[in-house]
């Protein structure tokens, strides 16, 4: 029988070694035990001693072996030999690949400056902090990923500006919330991090009060004490109205506000006009229900606020984040047992090398002047503005961006406005894609690099974001083909280029971080498996909040100094029944997309049989009345259309959605289709419907992905799926896609 010892990362037991590691099938980090025999992984199970997940695994984690040993994985570097998009490749060595990439970086830098190089990535995985580190090391300020303006980073940036640190929900303490407010977040079904979902489930077992803000009647909404079914894109109006109720009825925590909040009087004046009666016709939520929710939230303490990326999909995202931060702050649900808390952050910040880039070069970052919280002086993690980068690639405005590197992102499925993304990628002179599989995006590359799965990686998942404050050792347990860890690839490129920084191995970086604040290093952490510091509450009582005033800034002095609105405000979505009524006549329904599917993670895992069996086809949700009016039934195909494009999905009749709203699944492509290099990318891709156009959030540069206008049309199974004229450029008989671009 396999044996393991709790205090070590692995022990020998016959021919089997059991490693303590961290699953990264999503961007979380559940503790796992990886059983290895004869150089192969034979079993993966949850680590019962790890406080993150206590032995549990989600469907993604249980499918890890299908991911690691999937026959469709890329196994060696490949260089394009045909025209771009023809699918013709030759196998090359890693030395050839490294030399080629180093030469391209040097050539681009010499011709147009390092800023002409774009480095992109996807949702946060083990290599996420390394992407910005790599970009800074080679001298380009233009790195980005979709989430920096559209998912999570607005919450991080808003929190840092408001209270100095990101607050999180801590489910490992003995104190539990008396109420949980779920706002645009459904972690028990589709949380991006398995360990967070497990903690929420445990908290719910203790029967706290719950309020759910969601356009859809999720499982959480069904069991909620109050469900606020708001119109998509109006979260800011609802939050302002709840603030109005709490302040006007004197339900705030006066002692906490007086001692620890800056700008309460200014906030009071701002929300005075935003009554529930004002919000009701905007949000579609009855005024009395808004009052009921606000009172329940204010009077039930301690409480936690679980917020999701749904609030970050419109240009009003940053002010929505600010309003929700104000809700928790004026009710004193900050760093108290059972409330939002601040992580212990036992490690220093990851050395992303922003401090090594000259200020003049930083100012060349696309978006630096226009979006100060995303890209400029107030950026907590400075990144380029994606639409601005893509414009520079296509139009060389304000300067040319000609060379691209993508690490772990199927951009043609996950960026908004897929047609613009396609035009952008084919306009690059040179594109490198580091991937696990041949994706529609990889098909457009000049060089493809095979990368490692989570079980083939040395990484340091430190998770203060989610309240567990656990540092874990994610260990390389096997070698698969010629696959290389993304971090190792970036490090070796830096060595070949001869950069001044960024040449240390990942293990050296981890060791330095650990030893700077703790009494052990990387090898010792591998033996421990994980480390969890003792948790302390009310840390602000010792040092205040990390803001200019030392308090929570309801009225932000930093935003005021930058000429941005220092108080939360309401903004109608730029495309909606009210802001664009003429467009609504042709496209009368409101489109939402982005809710996660528990079998997949964004656009990943559709090639894993165990997971694909649970969701074989894309589905869109229609209210029964809407389905009747369109003459469609469950399982029939429809075409969802906006002024930008169309996609087809199967109908799921669902009475938990407003008849004026359509929910469309995102991330769909079809890896099993190999008769063309697009792999069905255009057929059911929700991002054929979305937009990357202005107006943008003045702070974060966020564009509208949610609450767009659409229409739905019944289609027959025999109808040819829609492909935009541009998609014909994928066809292998195109003379030369480079000439076209």
Q: What percent of the chain has a predicted confidence (pLDDT) above 90?
A: 83
Give Cα separations from 56 to 46, 47, 62, 364 (angstroms): 5, 7, 10, 46
Q: Alpha-carbon Rg of the chain, whole angstroms?
A: 25
Average pLDDT over residues 62-74: 97
Task: Note the helical H segments in 272-410.
Answer: 276-283, 287-299, 317-330, 359-362, 386-395
Inform me whether the pLDDT recorded for 608 exceeds 90.
Answer: yes
* Residue of 349 and 28 predicted with greater confidence: 349
Average pLDDT over residues 320-348: 94
Strand locations in 98-170 (E): 117-121, 143-144, 167-169
Paired with 407 in beta bridges are: 121, 434
SS3 assignment, position 373 = coil
pLDDT in tens, 470-480: 899 999 999 99
Average of per-residue pLDDT values in the chain: 92
pLDDT in tens, 658-682: 999 999 999 999 999 887 789 999 9
Sorted by sequence, the CB contacts under 8 Å of residue 140 that are 6+ apart come out as: 114, 115, 116, 117, 118, 119
pLDDT in tens, 149-194: 999 999 999 999 999 999 988 876 677 899 999 999 998 887 666 5
pLDDT in tens, 182-210: 999 998 887 666 557 888 999 999 999 99
pLDDT at 726: 62
State the Cα–Cα distance between residues 703 and 709, nearest whole angstrom: 14
**Looking at the chain, how many residues does it have?**
741
Sorted by sequence, the CB contacts under 8 Å of residue 664 that are 6+ apart come out as: 591, 592, 593, 618, 620, 640, 647, 649, 686, 689
Which pair of tokens denotes residue 675?
């008769």
pLDDT in tens, 538-549: 999 999 999 999
Compute the half-sphere exposure of residue 322: CA atoms within 13 Å on the CB side of its CA: 26
Which pair of tokens denotes residue 430?
């040179």
State the Cα–Cα distance between residues 566 and 558, nearest whole angstrom: 8
pLDDT in tens, 408-429: 999 999 999 999 999 999 999 9
Sequence spans of domains, the chain: 78-151+348-459+471-531, 164-345, 581-690+700-730
What architecture is the 78-151+348-459+471-531 domain classified under in CATH?
3-Layer(aba) Sandwich (3.40)
The residue behind tokens 């069996």 is 613
The residue behind tokens 């000259």 is 358
The residue behind tokens 């991937």 is 435
Q: Assign domain 164-345 to its CATH superfamily.
A: Dimethylsulfoxide Reductase, domain 2 (3.40.228.10)
pLDDT at 728: 53
Q: Which residues of 322-360 are buried (b: 16+ CB within 10 A; e: fewer)?
A: bbbbbbbbbbbbbbbebbbbbbbebbeebbbbbeebeee
Compute the half-sphere exposure of residue 80: CA atoms within 13 Å on the CB side of its CA: 22
Sorted by sequence, the CB contacts under 8 Å of residue 503 that are 6+ apart come out as: 137, 491, 494, 495
pLDDT band at 86 (very low <50, low <70, confident <90, very high): confident
pTM: 0.95
CATH topology assigned to domain 581-690+700-730: Barwin-like endoglucanases (2.40.40)
Determine contact, residues 485/476, Cβ cutoff 8 Å.
Answer: yes
Which pair of tokens denotes residue 335?
């760093």
Average pLDDT over residues 27-54: 92
């Amino acid at each position: 029988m396999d044996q393991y010892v709790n205090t070590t990362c692995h022990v020998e037991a016959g021919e089997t070694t059991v490693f303590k590691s961290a699953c990264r099938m999503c961007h979380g980090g559940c503790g796992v035990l990886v059983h290895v025999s004869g150089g192969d992984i034979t079993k993966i199970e949850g680590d019962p001693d790890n406080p993150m997940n206590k032995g549990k695994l989600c469907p993604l984690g249980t499918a890890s072996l299908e991911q690691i040993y999937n026959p469709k994985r890329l196994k060696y570097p490949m260089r394009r030999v045909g025209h771009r998009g023809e699918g013709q490749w030759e196998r090359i060595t890693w030395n050839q690949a490294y030399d080629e990439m180093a030469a391209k970086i040097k050539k681009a830098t010499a011709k147009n400056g390092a800023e002409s190089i774009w480095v992109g990535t996807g949702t946060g995985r083990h290599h996420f902090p390394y992407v910005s580190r790599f970009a800074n090391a080679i001298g380009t300020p233009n790195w980005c990923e979709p989430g920096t303006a559209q998912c999570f980073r607005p919450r991080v940036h808003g929190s840092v500006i408001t209270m100095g640190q990101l607050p999180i929900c801590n489910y490992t303490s003995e104190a539990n919330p008396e109420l949980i407010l779920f706002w645009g977040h459904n972690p028990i079904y589709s949380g991006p991090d398995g360990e967070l979902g497990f903690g929420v489930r445990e908290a719910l077992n203790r029967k706290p009060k719950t309020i759910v803000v969601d356009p859809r009647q999720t499982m959480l909404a069904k069991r909620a004490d109050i469900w606020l079914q708001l119109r998509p894109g109006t979260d800011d109006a609802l939050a302002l109205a709840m603030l109005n109720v709490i302040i006007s009825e004197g339900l705030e925590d006066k002692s906490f506000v007086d001692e620890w909040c800056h700008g309460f009087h200014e906030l009071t004046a701002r929300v005075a006009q935003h009554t529930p009666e004002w919000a009701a016709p905007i949000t579609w939520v009855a005024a009395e229900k808004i009052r009921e929710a606000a009172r329940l939230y204010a009077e039930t303490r301690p409480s936690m606020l679980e917020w999701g990326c749904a609030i970050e999909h419109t240009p009003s995202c940053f002010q929505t984040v600010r309003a929700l931060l104000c809700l928790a702050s004026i009710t004193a649900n900050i760093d108290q047992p059972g409330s939002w808390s601040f992580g212990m952050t036992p490690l220093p910040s990851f050395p992303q090398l922003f401090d090594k880039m000259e200020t003049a070069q930083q100012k060349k970052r696309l978006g630096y002047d226009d979006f100060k919280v995303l890209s400029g002086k107030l950026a907590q993690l400075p990144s380029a503005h994606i639409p601005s980068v893509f414009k520079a690639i296509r139009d060389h405005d304000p300067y040319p961006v000609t060379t691209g590197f993508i690490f772990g992102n199927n951009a043609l499925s996950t960026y908004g406005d897929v047609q613009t993304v396609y035009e952008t990628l084919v306009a690059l002179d040179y594109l490198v894609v580091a991937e696990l599989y041949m994706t529609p995006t990889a098909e457009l590359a000049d060089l493809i690099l095979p990368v490692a799965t989570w079980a083939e990686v040395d990484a340091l998942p430190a998770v203060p974001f989610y309240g567990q404050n656990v540092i874990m050792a994610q260990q390389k347990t096997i070698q698969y083909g010629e696959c290389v860890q993304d971090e190792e690839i970036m490090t070796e490129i830096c060595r070949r280029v001869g950069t001044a920084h960024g040449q240390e191995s990942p293990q050296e970086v981890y060791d330095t971080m650990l030893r700077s604040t703790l009494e052990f290093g990387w090898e010792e952490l591998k033996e421990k498996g994980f480390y969890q510091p003792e948790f302390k509450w009310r840390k602000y009582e010792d040092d205040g909040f990390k803001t200019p005033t030392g308090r929570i800034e309801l009225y932000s002095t930093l935003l005021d100094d930058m000429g941005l609105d220092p108080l939360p405000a309401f903004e109608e979505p730029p495309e909606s029944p009210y802001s664009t009524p003429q467009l609504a006549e042709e496209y009368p329904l409101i489109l939402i997309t982005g809710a996660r599917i528990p079998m997949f993670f964004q656009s990943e895992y559709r090639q894993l049989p165990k997971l694909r069996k649970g969701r074989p086809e894309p589905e869109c949700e229609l209210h029964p009345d809407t389905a009747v009016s369109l003459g469609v039934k469950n399982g029939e195909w429809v075409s969802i259309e906006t002024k930008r494009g169309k996609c087809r999905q199967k109908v799921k009749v669902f009475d938990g959605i407003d008849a004026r709203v359509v929910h469309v699944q995102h991330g769909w492509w079809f890896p099993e289709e190999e008769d063309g290099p697009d792999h069905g990318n255009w057929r059911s891709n929700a991002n054929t419907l979305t937009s990357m156009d202005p107006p943008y959030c003045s702070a974060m540069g966020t564009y509208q992905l949610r609450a767009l206008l659409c229409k739905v049309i019944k289609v027959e199974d025999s109808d040819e799926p829609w492909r935009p004229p541009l998609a014909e450029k994928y066809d292998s008989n195109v003379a030369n896609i480079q000439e076209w671009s």
